[in-house]
Amino acid sequence: MIRLSIRFAGALALVALFMPVLHVAAQPDVPAAPVAQAPATPAPAALVFPKPNPANFTAASPDLDTVNAFMQANWGFDETRAWQVEAILKTPVEGLSKVVVYVGDKSGKQKLIGMQFFVLPDGKHIIFGDEVIPFGAHPFADARAIVKQRADGPYRGAASKDLEIVEFADFQCPHCKAAQANMDRLAADFPKARFVFQNFPLPMHPAAAGAAAYGYCVTKQGGSNAFFTFAAAVYDGQDGLASADGATMTLNSAVTKAGLDPATIATCAKAPATLAAVDAMVKLALDLNINQTPTLVVNGRQVLASTPYDTIKQIILFQAKMDGVAAQ
């Protein structure tokens, strides 16, 4: 897995899992809730936000409803988390606004944490840390449209793209191999979803692009079922990809298990059209600002596949509800 930075990845939900990296704009104490009699173990106070100061809402755009919709789209899946917009401020740059949000745990067990981001003049992007992230009431809509149009890898599950979960993965990535068990679980738990495998071969893995080309040709000649048989065999023999000779043996063996002819697939994998197809796979990932493998894209929303399984399920259910589609 490459870890270039912790992005919003189109989703503040990911940042919620890595709260210590947030810029701390403020960290006020949460007042204790009054009790009639002190218990042996003090109960946590209910979450209390400071009262927003109207003087801190000086920017014409974005409005409060848009910021709250953006936060809901990203963090609404987590029923334990609450937030309050504390400021939407003008800056010296025309059209650039600074937003401050306090985030906390509804139980009151944690202190409030302040985070800030800057909304760009186009109203469609924010600067969060060192990243430019889609913004708005529906921040994943553009990515969802791109994925619907361009994610053309083999799939299993539903033919419909109403709930589309795309896995961007690399055959030589150990974390991608480890993620396959969870992908099988997700496919079983969400029979109404379409699960797409989208190759994203990484440059530091010398056998990855060749394996992606083989996978493309297997799909072209044998269909999605043949591809998933091939993919399972490649991941099972992933250690063999470490050398050129081992990679050839591993890929040819996987092709045989998929019921296809290794020589035919090897020839196809070297064809210019196949190499162009692999380049298009990489470009799609880069256009979506994906910087880690394996990454899932759930109706346009990025989720690290290393996220705990139950949280991934929670996000899928929430995103399906937000998009008005059936999940199970």
Distance CA 99, CA 57 (A): 9
Residues 124 and 146 in one domain: no
Whether residue 32 is predicted with pLDDT greater than 80 in this model: the reply is no
Three-state SS for the chain is CCCCCCCCCCCHHHHHCCHHHCCCCCCCCCCCCCCCCCCCCCCCCCCCCCCCCHHHECCCCCCHHHHHHHHHHHHCCCCCEEEEEEEEEECCCCCCEEEEEEEEECCCCCCCEEEEEEECCCCCEEEECCEEEECCCCCCHHHHHHHHHHCCCCEEECCCCCCEEEEEECCCCHHHHHHHHHHHHHHHHCCCCEEEEEECCCCCCCCHHHHHHHHHHHHHHHHHHHHHHHHHHHHHCHHHHHCHHHHHHHHHHHHHHCCCCHHHHHHHHCCHHHHHHHHHHHHHHHHCCCCCCCEEEECCEEEECCCCHHHHHHHHHHHHHHHCCCCC
Mean pLDDT value of segment 41-52: 71
Distance CA 301, CA 52 (A): 30
* The domain boundary residue, chosen from 96, 114, 137: 137
Residues 180 and 307 in one domain: yes
Over residues 70-91, the pLDDT tens digits come to 999 999 999 999 999 999 999 9
What is the rounded average pLDDT for all residues in the chain?
A: 87
Q: Which of 11-20, 151-160, 190-199 has the lowest mean pLDDT?
A: 11-20
Query: Omega before 294 cis (within 30°)?
Result: yes
Distance CA 125, CA 237 (A): 42
Q: Between residues 5 and 95, which one has the greater pLDDT? A: 95
Q: What is the predicted pLDDT for the residue at 97?
A: 97
Residues 73 and 222 in one domain: no
23 pLDDT tier (thresholds 50, 70, 90) = very low
Over residues 248-298, the pLDDT tens digits come to 999 999 999 999 999 999 999 999 999 999 999 999 999 999 988 999 999
Encoded tokens for 141:
């809509």
Residues 6+ apart with CB under 8 A from 73: 137, 138, 139, 140, 322
Q: What is the predicted pLDDT for the residue at 45?
A: 60
Classify residue 92: in a domain, yes or no.
yes
317 pLDDT tier (thresholds 50, 70, 90) = very high
Over residues 160-181, the pLDDT tens digits come to 999 999 999 999 999 999 999 9
Residue 284 CB neighbour total at 10 angstroms: 23
Residues 232 and 285 in one domain: yes
Residues 60 and 128 in one domain: yes
* The domain boundary residue, chosen from 137, 158, 179: 137
Q: Between residues 4 and 266, which one has the greater pLDDT? A: 266
110 pLDDT tier (thresholds 50, 70, 90) = confident
Residues 112 and 178 in one domain: no
Range of the domain at 158: 142-323
Global pTM value: 0.84
